[in-house]
A and B are shown apart, each in its own frame.
Chain A
Amino acid sequence: MREVSRDRIKAFITLLPSVVLIGVFVYGFIGNTVWISMTDWRGGAALSENPVKNFIGMQNYVELFSGFLDGRFRQDLVNAVYYSVLLLVGAVGIGMFIAILLDRKPRGEDFLRTVFLYPMSLSFIVTGTIWRWLLAPQGGVNLLPTYLGGKALDFQWLSSMKTVLLFDWQNLFPILLYLAAFVLILLGLGKLRRDPSRAFKHYLVPGVVLGAVVWLFGDLLPRALFMEEEHGFNLATLGIILATIWQYSGYTMALYLAGFNGISQDLMDAARLDGASDFDYYMHVAIPMLKPITISAVIILSHISLKMFDLIFAMTGPDNAATGHPALDMYLTTFRANDFAKGAAIAIVLFLVAGTFIIPYLVTSYRQRRNAR
Chain B
Amino acid sequence: MARVELVNVSKRYGDVIIVPGADLEIKDNEFIVFVGPSGCGKSTILRMIAGLEPISGGEIHIGDRVVNNVSPKSRNVAMVFQNYALYPHMTVRDNMGFSLKMAKRSKSEIDEAVNRAAEVLELGQLLDRKPSELSGGQRQRVAMGRAIVRQPDVFLFDEPLSNLDAQLRTQMRRELKKLHMKLATTTIYVTHDQIEAMTLASRIVILKDGEIQQVGTPVEVFEKPANVFVAQFIGNPPMNILEGIFETSGGSPVVRAGGSVFPVPEGRVPDLAGGAPVLVGLRPDSIKMGENVERLPKEWWCRGEVVVSEILGGQSLLEIVVDDNELIAEVEGRIEAQPGETVPIGFEFDRMVLFDPETTKAIS
**A-B Cβ contacts below 8 A, count:** 59
**A273-295 near B? 1/0 per residue, CB < 8 Å:** 11110001000110011010000
Give the one of A267, A271, A274 with max B CB within 10 A: A274
Q: Is the CB of A264 within 8 A of B79?
A: no
By the criterion CB–CB under 8 Å, are A269 and B87 in contact?
no
Check if B331 is an interface residue, CB within 8 A of chain A.
no
A273 to B50, CA, bound (A): 8
Q: Are A275 and B102 in contact (CB under 8 A)?
A: yes
B72 within 8 A of A: yes
Q: Which of A269, A271, A289, A291 has the most CB of B within 10 A?
A: A269
Contact B103 A275, beta carbon cutoff 8 Å: yes
Which interface residue of B78, B81, B103 has the most chain A CB atoms within 10 A? B81
Which residues B102-159 have CB closer than 8 A to chain A?
102-103, 146, 150
Per-residue B-contact encoding for A21-40, CB less than 8 Å = 1, 0 else: 00000000000000000000
Residues of chain B with a CB closer than 8 A to A291's CB: 89
Is A162 on the interface with B (CB-CB < 8 A)?
no
Q: Give the distance in Å from the alpha carbon of A179 to the alpha carbon of B90 in the complex.
A: 31
Interface residue B66 (Cβ < 8 Å from any Cβ of A): no
> Which of B51, B82, B89, B99 is close to A288, meaning CB atoms less than 8 Å apart?
B89
- Is A10 an interface position by the 8 A CB rule? no
B18-62, CB under 8 A of A: which get 1 and which 0? 000000000000000000000000000001001110000000000
Minimum distance in angstroms from A269 CB to a CB of chain B: 5
Size of interface on B: residues with Cβ below 8 Å to A: 25
**What residues of chain B lie closer than 8 Å to A271, measured between beta carbons?**
87, 98
Task: Please report the C-alpha to C-alpha distance between residue A69 and residue B146 in the assembled complex, in whole angstroms.
Answer: 65
Q: Which of A264, A267, A274, A289 contacts B99 (CB 8 A)?
A: A274
Known: A273-B52, A275-B102. A267 touches B73 (CB 8 A): no
Distance of B324 from chain A, by nearest CB (Å): 51
- The range of chain A's interface size is 10 to 19
Q: Check if A270 is an interface residue, CB within 8 A of chain B.
A: yes
Among A264, A274, A289, the residue within 8 A (CB) of B98 is: A274
Q: Please give the distance in Å from A260's CB to the nearest CB on chain B.
A: 14
Task: Give the residues in chain A near B81, CB-CB below 8 Å.
Answer: 266, 269-270
- For residue A272, CB closer than 8 A to chain B, the reply is yes
Using Cβ atoms and an 8 Å threshold, which residues of chain B touch A264? 83, 85
B98-A269 in contact (CB<8A): no
B9 to chain A, nearest CB (A): 19
Whether A289 pairs with B87 at a CB distance below 8 angstroms is yes
Q: Is B77 an interface residue (CB 8 A)?
A: yes
Closest to B52 in A: A269
A residues 129-151 near B (Cβ < 8 Å) are none
Which of A273, A285, A288 contacts B78 (CB under 8 A)?
A273
Chain B neighbourhood of A266, CB < 8 A: 81-83, 85
Proximity bits, A234-269, B CB within 8 Å = 1, else 0: 000000000000000000000000000000101101
| Identity of the chain B residue whose Cβ is nearest the Cβ of A272 in the assembled complex | B72
Chain A residues near B83: list those with CB within 8 A.
264, 266
Q: When chains A and B are docked, how far (Å) is the Cα of A12 from the Cα of B73?
A: 59
Out of B51, B89, B146, which one reaches A289, CB within 8 Å?
Answer: B89
The residue of chain B having its C-beta at the shortest distance from the C-beta of A281 within the complex is: B102
**Given pairs A269-B81, A288-B89, 19 additional interface contacts (CB within 8 A):** A264-B83, A266-B85, A269-B50, A269-B52, A269-B72, A271-B87, A271-B98, A272-B52, A273-B52, A273-B72, A273-B79, A274-B98, A274-B99, A275-B73, A275-B99, A276-B102, A284-B98, A284-B101, A289-B88
